[in-house]
A and B are shown apart, each in its own frame.
Chain A
Amino acid sequence: MNEVCFKNLDKKDSWSLAVYEASGGYSVWRKILRGELTPEQIIDELKASGLRGRGGAGFPTGLKWSFMPRNSAGQKYVVCNSDEGEPGTCKDRDILRYNPHAVIEGMAIGGFVMNATTGYNYIRGEFIEPFNRFEGALKEAYAAGLLGENISDSGVDFNLYAHLGAGAYVCGEETALLESIEGKKGQPRFKPPFPANVGLYGKPTTINNTESFASVADILSKGGKWFADLGVENSGGCKLFSVSGHVKNPANFEVSMGTPFKDLLEMAGGMRDGAKLKAVIPGGSSTPVLTADVAMAMTMDYDGIEKAGSMLGAGSVIVMDESTCMVETLTRLAHFYYDESCGQCTPCREGTGWLYRALKRITDGNGKDGDIELLLNVQDKIMGNTICALGDAAAMPVESFLRNFREEFEYYIEHGKSMVKG
C-alpha cells in the first residue's frame, strides 16, 4: 500500500521539497537535465509500465505522449487536470496537498517529452488549500533551480503555472478545461481535432490527470516493469481508490491494481455499524452501480471491474448499505448532471433536465405508469449523441440503477414513497 503517489504520506511535511528529494524526488528530472534520458526512452518506459490515465478514461499514458507532434514548430503545452469533481472522487486533492512535487516533476518530464516549455495545472476553484500547497511547491522548485528557462544550463525550458477553476464539473472534461484556461465558459470542444493537434490556445497540448502525472517520476526511476508488476495484466501499477459512503473508515487508499474489492472494503474498516452491503458504485458517480454480490466478487482493476459490469473510472468507490433508497440516490445524481451540463448539446441540456424532473416527480410521490420506460428511453436517447462524455455519464447511472434495482422504482411509483425508508 501507498507506494507511489502516497509514499511519503506518513512523513511530516510530506509536501516539502526536502521530504520529496529525500525519497528520490527530482532524480529523474535531474537526469533529464543532464541529458541522460531521451524522450523516446521515457515513452518506452511509460508504455512498459502499463500506466493508464487516472482521470477516468484509462487511456494508456505512454501512447498518449507518443501522439504529440513534439517536433512541430511553435509553442506546445502540457496541462494537468486537477479539476477533480466527479462525485465520489477526492484523491487528486490529497496528492496536491501531500505530494505536490510529484505532480511538478511529472509535468516537467511531460514537458520535456512533448517539447512543451509551458505547463498549466488546472486546479478546481474550491481547492484553495491544495492550490496553496501547489503554489508553495512551485516556489520551492523555482528557487531550487528546477524550473524556468535554460534550467541548470541544460538548454531545457519549463515554466509551470497553476490555474484556478471557478466551479464547474464539466471543466474536468479535457477540452472544456482548455476553454476554461482560455478564459471562456467551460464548454467542451468537438473532436476532431484532438488536443494533441489543436489544444490550448490552438497549440498542441497533452492533458493528463494529477495522479497520472504524479506516477511518472517513480515509474521512470524504478522502471516500467517494476510498476507494471505492482498491478495485473492490462492494469499496471497501483491506484488511488477513494472509498466513501457507508464504510467505517472512509479514506483514500493506494493499492495494487487487482486488489479484491472485499479487501479494499476491509481496509476501509468494513461496513459501518455492521450494516449489510447493498450496492457499490466503483468508479465515480458516472459509472454503473453494482449489486453487493457482484461487487464482492470483483477485483479492482480495469478488466475486473468491467467484467463486473461497470468501470474503474477515477477509482471512486461509493459504498451503500441496505438503508439506502436507490430512487432517492439516483435522483440526487440526476440532479448533479442536470446542474452540471454545460448546455450546448441538445440531448444533454434537455435530457438531463427531463431525467431529473421525472425522478423528482417520482420522489415527490407523483410517479406514473410508464415512468420507468420513460427514464430508460430518455437516457438511451442521450447516450452516444453528445459532444462530450457528460451526456453518457448522466445516462449510465439511470440505466444501471433501473436494471439492478427496478423493484424499488416500481414501488416508489406505485406507492408514492420509498420501499426502503417507508
Chain B
Amino acid sequence: MISDQAKKQIDAWVAKYPEDRKSSAVMEALKIVQAENDNSLSAESIQDVADYLGMPGIAAAEVATFYENYNHKPVGKHVIRFCHNISCMLNGSDDLISHLEDKLGVKTGEVTKDGLISVKKVECLGACVGAPMFQIGDQYYENLTAEKIDEIVDGLK
C-alpha cells in the first residue's frame, strides 16, 4: 500500500519524464516508499511501486537490488553510512569505524538494540577532501574525529 501522500510525491517525479516513461521515476518512488516503511523495502512494497508505475515487479526488483540506497533488511532509524574508501582510509576511517562500533556496541551491518542506529560501510561518497566522513540521512559530516563522532551520535534521537 502506498499512501496518498507518497503517491503525490511520486507523481511529482513522474511529471519530469515523458508521459510514456513513468518507470523513470522508479528510483525515487522506491525511496519514497522505503521512507514510509521504516527505511526498508519488502517484496510487497516493491510490487506496489511497480504496479503504480506500470512496470513488471521483477524490473522494479532489479532496480531495488542494484542500487545501494535501498535496504532489504531492518535498519536503524538513523543509518550511519561511513565511507571507507581510499581517501577516508588514508585519513583513518578504519579506526574511526571501530571507535563507532565500540561506542554503539554493534558491528557494521547491525542495528542498535533500541533500533535507533545502524552502521554501514559504504564506498566513496564524493567528499574526499573532507575525509574522513560519513552520511546520516541527507547530511554529510566531514573531517571526522573520534570526539566529533561522539558528539554527533550523542545528538541522534
Give chain A's interface residues, CB within 8 Å of chain B. Answer: 75, 84-90, 92-93, 120, 124-129, 161, 163-169, 180-186, 201, 242-246, 250-252, 281, 285, 316, 318, 320, 324, 329, 332-333, 336, 339-340, 342
Q: Mark B1-39, 1 if CB is under 8 A from A, else 0.
A: 000000000000000111001111111101100000000
Across the interface, name the chain A residue whose C-beta is closest to B137. A128
Contacting A at CB under 8 A, from B50-95, are 53, 55, 59, 62-63, 66-70, 81, 84-87, 89-91
Contacts of A243 in B (CB 8 A): 129
Across the interface, name the chain A residue whose C-beta is closest to B62. A185
Which listed residue, A93, A124, A165, A333, touches B86 by the CB 8 Å rule? A333
Is the pair A244, B128 in contact by a Cβ cutoff of 8 Å? yes
Contacting A at CB under 8 A, from B121-157, are 122-131, 135, 138-140
Across the interface, name the chain B residue whose C-beta is closest to A186. B66
Which listed residue, A120, A127, A281, touches B126 by the CB 8 Å rule? A127
Is the pair A87, B87 in contact by a Cβ cutoff of 8 Å? yes
Is the pair B126, A245 in contact by a Cβ cutoff of 8 Å? no
Contacts of A166 in B (CB 8 A): 27, 30-31, 63, 67-70
Measured CB to CB, the closest approach of chain B to A27, in angstroms, equals 28
Please measure, in the bound complex, the distance between the C-alpha atom of A336 and the C-alpha atom of B86, giving whole angstroms. Answer: 9
Interface centre among B28, B89, B129, B130, by most chain A C-beta atoms within 10 angstroms, is B129
Contacts of A86 in B (CB 8 A): 124
Please measure, in the bound complex, the distance between the C-alpha atom of A316 and the C-alpha atom of B128, giving whole angstroms. Answer: 9
Is the pair A90, B123 in contact by a Cβ cutoff of 8 Å? no
Q: A166-B30, A166-B70, A201-B21 known; A126 and B84 CB under 8 Å?
A: no
Is the pair A320, B90 in contact by a Cβ cutoff of 8 Å? yes
Give chain B's interface residues, CB within 8 Å of chain A. Answer: 16-18, 21-28, 30-31, 53, 55, 59, 62-63, 66-70, 81, 84-87, 89-91, 122-131, 135, 138-140
Measured CB to CB, the closest approach of chain B to A175, in angstroms, equals 15
Contacts of A120 in B (CB 8 A): 16
Is the pair B28, A164 in contact by a Cβ cutoff of 8 Å? yes
Which listed residue, A75, A88, A127, A332, touches B128 by the CB 8 Å rule? A88
Contacts of A93 in B (CB 8 A): 126-127
9 A-B residue contacts at CB 8 Å?
Answer: A86-B124, A125-B27, A129-B139, A183-B25, A242-B128, A244-B87, A246-B91, A332-B84, A339-B123
Contacts of B138 in A (CB 8 A): 128-129
Contacts of B55 in A (CB 8 A): 183
Is the pair A244, B129 in contact by a Cβ cutoff of 8 Å? yes
Q: Apart from A125-B31, A161-B17, A169-B124, list 19 A-B contacts with CB within 8 A.
A: A85-B124, A87-B86, A90-B129, A126-B81, A126-B126, A129-B139, A161-B16, A167-B67, A182-B23, A183-B22, A183-B24, A185-B67, A201-B18, A245-B131, A285-B124, A332-B84, A336-B86, A340-B123, A342-B66
Is the pair A168, B68 in contact by a Cβ cutoff of 8 Å? yes
Please measure, in the bound complex, the distance between the C-alpha atom of A169 and the C-alpha atom of B122, giving whole angstroms. Answer: 11
Contacts of B126 in A (CB 8 A): 84-85, 89-90, 92-93, 124, 126-127
Contacts of B84 in A (CB 8 A): 332
Which listed residue, B59, B62, B85, B139, touches A87 by the CB 8 Å rule? B85
Contacts of A168 in B (CB 8 A): 66-68
Measured CB to CB, the closest approach of chain A to B36, in angstroms, equals 16
Q: A164-B27, A166-B30, A318-B86 known; A184 and B128 CB under 8 Å?
A: no
Please measure, in the bound complex, the distance between the C-alpha atom of A416 and the C-alpha atom of B148, giving whole angstroms. Answer: 35
Please measure, in the bound complex, the distance between the C-alpha atom of A244 and the C-alpha atom of B89, giving whole angstroms. Answer: 11
Contacts of A201 in B (CB 8 A): 18, 21
Contacts of B59 in A (CB 8 A): 183-184
Which 7 interchain pairs have the tightest Cβ spacing? A167-B68, A166-B67, A183-B23, A185-B66, A128-B138, A244-B128, A244-B87
Please measure, in the bound complex, the distance between the C-alpha atom of A75 and the C-alpha atom of B18, giving whole angstroms. Answer: 10
Is the pair A250, B128 in contact by a Cβ cutoff of 8 Å? yes
Is the pair A183, B63 in contact by a Cβ cutoff of 8 Å? yes
Which listed residue, A84, A183, A184, A318, touches B87 by the CB 8 Å rule? A318
Interface centre among B16, B18, B86, B127, by most chain A C-beta atoms within 10 angstroms, is B86
Is the pair B70, A90 in contact by a Cβ cutoff of 8 Å? no
Q: A129-B138, A184-B63, A185-B66 known; A165 and B27 CB under 8 Å?
A: yes
Please measure, in the bound complex, the distance between the C-alpha atom of A264 and the C-alpha atom of B86, giving whole angstroms. Answer: 20
Interface centre among A128, A161, A185, by most chain B C-beta atoms within 10 angstroms, is A185
Please measure, in the bound complex, the distance between the C-alpha atom of A318 and the C-alpha atom of B90, giving whole angstroms. Answer: 9
Contacts of B66 in A (CB 8 A): 168, 185-186, 342
Measured CB to CB, the closest approach of chain A to B78, in angstroms, equals 15
Please measure, in the bound complex, the distance between the C-alpha atom of A201 and the C-alpha atom of B23, giving whole angstroms. Answer: 12
Is the pair A90, B127 in contact by a Cβ cutoff of 8 Å? yes
Please measure, in the bound complex, the distance between the C-alpha atom of A90 and the C-alpha atom of B127, giving whole angstroms. Answer: 5
Please measure, in the bound complex, the distance between the C-alpha atom of A373 and the C-alpha atom of B28, giving whole angstroms. Answer: 45
Contacts of A340 in B (CB 8 A): 123
Contacts of B25 in A (CB 8 A): 183
